[in-house]
Structure 1
């Protein structure tokens, strides 16, 4: 079988992408022809996105030339047939597109696209719809190919024997799904728990756990922490300013101004002009989600992988309409 491997964690990297090389090695050991097209940087939480205003640069890289930080030695000598392709400004979806149509035209047609293994599990609706790993498999479907998204369910550092066991089980699962592909299925989402006995644990069909955000928890305002430490205006003694309640006392035509740098205020609280810019940074607090995953029902992807089994979720690559909502709308009702 000719398998195209894409991912969202980027080049092999001890911190961000420790799983892709072991899976590729295991696929090749099982006798498959493997072509690899991956982003040059992590593209997590990007779904099936394409960066339409960014030009893409494809680098041919021997897998043995990667360093622990994901960079590579450009002077490494190799032959074209064993090189991976690393794509600047690439996303999992664009890697799938280029891998299928542009990069490996001298090889037989691709039979299957594997996206992953993700560094951490992808279980529940929010993860599935946000995941770049699942996005790479979705793109394969829209290119007329079968896709399997694979996630190795831990972001914690793992010993080599556990990673190798997960890779062996993932390959066996891929081969079984390929041989027994249900024609109703367009892609499978597979989550493999990271444990040394994973190959002896069940592999189960599951359904996706529904999850919705209960609060805004993905972004934090930049500088908010520093601002919260300022009490009654300006912190006493900062920049050599000393005054009442931490604010410098100014005199203007005999009038005392309790403010900052002559700005009127009360007890050191300056009247702040309305800000035209506010800055936010990624600051995911997933504690509520993790609690919901821990409480998930038996038969869901989250419950299955958290309890030590491998989950296999069969999916269709569409937002299907709600049945029986048809015909004209009466806007007077």
Structure 2
């Protein structure tokens, strides 16, 4: 990628005689601007116009956005729409492929026994509850109705696959895949190895594309001003990482704290906090109550549980289970009921330089990763079994 020289933009040097339109994606990393502007215009432009043009020309990409929280909704998926708006405001072309329902905690899974169904939804057709009132089986001629696709039976990984190879071929090559922003943190090995958000970026990496996973670190409802501030900062970090991509890195995992001053807080490179389950099984046996079950009680507040709910619920705290109510069936039933109190203590006590410590202390963490299970050195050659 080339960078547009600031002195050229400010008119202190003679600009390249090519027009902005001739700066092809292969040279600037993204689609050419919609409105061609001549080099002479650049030289003579007003400062406020140059500022906007500098953002557009310095890095303009076709970005695929996927997530694991599903369609925009106030309660379950509040971050994706403001983030897409921020990407577009920065001059990027954005294509969105998202699962039709929440797929948190699913990792890089594909649901191979079910067909995937793509539905094109205009961005303004989404309701606050994540449903929509207008959709198309195929994209229409309106460009804005070609940007958002909802995938029935989709996962973050399958959305990445379809987005890269099927859904947006007519919109040009995709330069970068962003998975998120997730509704909650994804810090430490426990979360990252199971995260659907990280899984979407991993899928991009194994397809040979650059991937970035982004998580906004709160499940509490946030003021729109805080969400927009986090989205603006995330876009700035994305632009920087893409322009300065370390070739040793296959994907980045970002965690942003949700606070009003997030844009003025430090952004730090971090490492993943190693952590392991120390409190036994993630599931608890459930008890019968009038044909329903009540999940086991847990400690702690689920607002800090990143992608992981502490107990499974359908909104009322109970859910029907097949088999209950049939006296001749003696099935044992288990519900998600993770004990998170010890994990929360460990995250709060984590070492400086880790992703968990950084985001919990109000800074943005940027963790460079590779998409592989690295070999442990020194274990090579024949393996001698005991007699």
Task: Please report the RMSD computed on the Cα atoms of aligned residues, expressed in angstroms.
Answer: 2.2
SS at match of 1:312: strand
**Aligned residue runs from structure 1 range 177-216, under 5 A:** 177-216=241-280
- Whole-angstrom CA distance in 2 between matches of 1:34 and 1:81: 11
Query: How far apart are 1:222 and its partner, in Å?
Result: 2.3
Find the aligned partners of 1:228 and 1:281 in 2 and give their Cα distance: 9
Match among 94, 118, 123 for residue 58 of structure 1: 118
Contact 1:191–1:310, Cα closer than 8 Å, also in 2: yes
Q: Which residue of 2 is the match for residue 309 of structure 1?
A: 363
Q: Which runs of 4+ in 1 moved over 3 A?
A: 75-80, 224-229, 273-276
Post-superposition offset of 1:324: 1.0
3-state SS of paired residue (2:246): coil
Give the counterpart of 2:337 among 265, 278, 283: 283
- Contact 1:217/1:286, CA 8 A, preserved across alignment: no
The number of aligned residues is 290
Q: Is the CA contact 1:62–1:78 (under 8 Å) kept in the aligned structure 2?
A: no
Match of 1:253 in 2: none
Distance across 2 between alignment mates of 1:187 and 1:129: 14
Gaps of 5+ in 1: 230-272
SS at 1:110 equivalent: coil
Q: 1:75 to 1:142 in 2, by over 3 A?
A: closer
Deviation readout 1:169-218 (Å, 9 max, x if unpaired):
00000000001100000000000000000111000000000010002352
Greater mean deviation of Cα atoms: 317-326 or 219-228? 219-228
* Equivalent-residue separation in structure 2 for 1:23 and 1:153 (angstroms): 14
Match among 209, 219, 230 for residue 145 of structure 1: 209
Quote the Cα distance in structure 2 between the aligned partners of 1:22 and 1:146.
22
TM-score (norm 2): 0.72
Does residue 186 of structure 2 align to residue 126 of structure 1?
A: no
Cα separation, 2, equivalents of 1:21 and 1:62: 12
CA 1:22–1:324 in structure 2 vs 1: closer, same or farther (change >3 Å)? same
- Alpha carbons of structure 1 residues 274 and 194: separation in structure 2 relative to 1, 3 Å: same
Query: What's the CA shift string for 1:284-331, capped at 9, x where partnerless?
Result: 332221111011110000000000000000001000110010011111
Aligned to 1:19: 79
Structure 2 CA distance for aligned equivalents of residues 228 and 188 of structure 1: 40
For structure 2, list consecutive stretches of 5 or more residues without a partner in the other structure.
Answer: 1-60, 295-326
Q: Could you tell me the TM-score, scaled by structure 1's length? A: 0.83
More strand by share: 1
Once the two structures are superposed, what CA deviation does each residue of 1:9-46 show, in whole Å capped at 9, x if it has no partner? 00001111000000000000000000000000000000
Greater C-alpha Rg: 1
Residue 108 of structure 1 deviates from its aligned partner by: 1.1
Distance, in Å, in 2 between the alignment partners of 1:228 and 1:91 is 28
